[in-house]
Amino acid sequence: MSDSRFQVVAFGLDDMTRSRETCRLYVQAKLVEPGELLSPFELWPAFESPLQRMAFLGLVSVEPAWVTRLDVAVDAECRPEDGKLLLDALDALDALEAARLPNGWRTRSVGVPRSTVYFSARGSEKVTARSYCRNLKTKQGTPFGLIRLEAQTTFDPLARLLSSVEPAFVAEVWLSRFGALAGQVERLGREAQVIELAHKVAQDELRYGQSERLSMFLDLESLELVDSFYPPSVLSARRQEARKLGFAANERGMPTLKVDLDDLLSSYVSVVSDAA
């Protein structure tokens, strides 16, 4: 047992085998039990078994097998307070310049309390990754005691042959979503936020006018009123200013959040990197 706050218990592919159109026959292979992960080192051996059973029935494909969707997940057990902290930190990412999401992705969360954080592609609702509590999803175990970080990607037909989906490729898919996340994530409660802004003014790190402007913006954003208050050009400038200074709008009633992502993600990244 390591000293890390998260103990990784599973790394592999979620059972999300999908096919687009087929001419005559569609077969969905269940390679693992529901809820379990398939080790990337066992993908091809697991797939050979249903192929052999089909061959015994006289069903043989004239084309090599290919992948159209790949879900790569890592499960880690943790203390409930650490699990909730990780989900809160990931949800706050797209508001911070110091820990920007790759490729302009953004986050949205669901659940009360927050139980799932989705990473979406820029300018669309396409989900590229998600982080969620497996215990809340399955209604088993301690809430926030088992956190899954899952990367999702899709391919055009024949673009990615199954034979090329090796452990190193699987690891790179996951690392492309979560491996570059680092830095301090800080989301202050309303009172603490005002104190921090006042401190920055006293230390000549901010002008008083800039501090007042930023305080107003953060209040409006936490109340989801910024779109109706600012014209688009000004809103963009205010958000850029807040990101550069490392501030994210706090949700009403949410506690102060200050966390080092490197610390929270180190166990996940270490296990996946070993397979890369």
Say if residue 110 is in the same domain as residue 84.
yes
Q: Does the reported pTM lie above 0.85?
A: no
Percentage of the chain with pLDDT > 70? 78
105 within some domain: yes
pLDDT of residue 252: 46
Say if residue 158 is in the same domain as residue 225.
no
Using the predicted structure, report yes or no on whether residue 101 has a pLDDT greater than 70.
Answer: no
Using the predicted structure, report yes or no on whether residue 162 has a pLDDT greater than 90.
Answer: no
Say if residue 119 is in the same domain as residue 216.
no
Amino acid, single-letter form, for residue 157: P
Say if residue 64 is in the same domain as residue 172.
yes
pLDDT of residue 257: 61
11 within some domain: yes
Say if residue 149 is in the same domain as residue 168.
yes
Alpha helices in the chain (DSSP H): 43-56, 80-91, 134-138, 167-178, 190-202, 208-222, 226-229, 232-245, 261-275
Is the Cα torsion angle 109, 101, 66, 165 positive or negative in sign? negative
pLDDT tens figures, 54-91: 888 888 877 788 888 889 999 999 999 889 888 888 87
Using the predicted structure, report yes or no on whether residue 26 has a pLDDT greater than 80.
Answer: no
Say if residue 80 is in the same domain as residue 205.
no
Say if residue 67 is in the same domain as residue 142.
yes
1 within some domain: no
Distance CA 192, CA 117 (A): 25
Taking alpha carbons only, the member of 203, 111, 5 closest to residue 211 is 203
Lowest mean pLDDT among 204-213, 214-223, 253-262: 253-262
145 within some domain: yes
The structural domain count of the chain equals 2
Say if residue 201 is in the same domain as residue 180.
no
Using the predicted structure, report yes or no on whether residue 146 has a pLDDT greater than 90.
Answer: yes
Say if residue 159 is in the same domain as residue 49.
yes
pLDDT of residue 249: 59
243 within some domain: yes
197 within some domain: yes
Confidence of residue 98 (pLDDT cuts 50, 70, 90): very low
208 within some domain: yes
Say if residue 99 is in the same domain as residue 10.
yes
Say if residue 97 is in the same domain as residue 135.
yes
Range of the domain at 63: 6-185+259-275
Say if residue 105 is in the same domain as residue 229.
no
Strands 106-110 and 184-187: unpaired
